[in-house]
Copies of this chain bind each other. A is one copy, B any other.
Amino acid sequence: MRLSEGVEWAVHCCTVLAALPPERTLGAGALAEFFEVPKAYLAKHLQALSQHGVVDAVPGRNGGYRLARATAKITLRDIVTAIEGPGPCFRCQEIRRRGPSGQPKRCYTAPCGIARAMWAAEKVYLDALARTTLAKLIAEAAHEVSHEQQAAMARWLEQAA
């Protein structure tokens, strides 16, 4: 089990977008330059965020991306789900039905207990992600990141305007 590195990219991009003045946007190219990642591939992930309503995409010359709603309303779960897809990590293949001691399908009404346990753990995981808002992440970072770097980021945002 391994998450796509696109998740890390997406979350970081959202924190940068959160620093923008209202209505301003930032293009995939600018974000790719900011993080030194392949532009086209980052664009793919931003596209996923856009399709899931995490960010808004503005087409046209001065277009780009901006957060679709307030940082307090965006959670890590939203971003992870957008990048990784909605399906559960554990896919029950119902192998209990197969083999010599398997029974007809009608005998299996409830989901397999193993699958239920795995899904319950996944729910706990996603709930934990849902409790972490983008606003909380940014507030934490504000205390930890040096003023120097925050200034450097502000300067970069200006020149990228």
Interface of A toward B, CB cutoff 8 Å: 1-5, 7-9, 11-12, 15, 33-37, 76, 80, 84, 87, 89-93, 95-96, 98-101, 103, 107, 110, 113-115, 117-118, 120-122, 124-125, 128-129, 132, 137, 140-141, 144, 146, 148-149, 152-153, 155-156
Are B35's CB and A95's CB within 8 A?
yes
Q: What residues of B have a CB within 8 angstroms of the CB of A146 in the complex?
A: 103, 107
Are A128's CB and B137's CB within 8 A?
no
Are A101's CB and B152's CB within 8 A?
yes
A125's partner among B107, B121, B141 (CB-CB below 8 A) is: B121
- The docked-state distance in angstroms from the alpha carbon of A115 to that of B125 is 14
Q: What residues of B have a CB within 8 angstroms of the CB of A110 in the complex?
A: 144
Determine how close the nearest CB of chain B comes to the CB of A47; give it in whole angstroms.
19
Task: Give the residue name and chain of the B residue nearest to A137 (CB).
Answer: B113
Given A3-B89, A8-B114, A95–B36 Cβ distance below 8 Å? yes
A8's partner among B5, B8, B90, B120 (CB-CB below 8 A) is: B90
- The docked-state distance in angstroms from the alpha carbon of A137 to that of B115 is 10
Are A122's CB and B121's CB within 8 A?
no
- The docked-state distance in angstroms from the alpha carbon of A99 to that of B33 is 6
Chain A to chain B: the 3 pairs with minimum beta-carbon distance, closest first: A125-B125, A121-B128, A101-B152
Are B33's CB and A1's CB within 8 A?
no
Task: Give the residue name and chain of the B residue nearest to A131 (CB).
Answer: B121
Sample 19 A-B pairs with CB under 8 A, ordered by A number. A1-B2, A5-B91, A7-B118, A8-B90, A8-B92, A8-B93, A12-B95, A15-B114, A36-B95, A36-B98, A76-B121, A101-B149, A101-B152, A101-B155, A103-B148, A103-B152, A117-B132, A124-B125, A125-B125
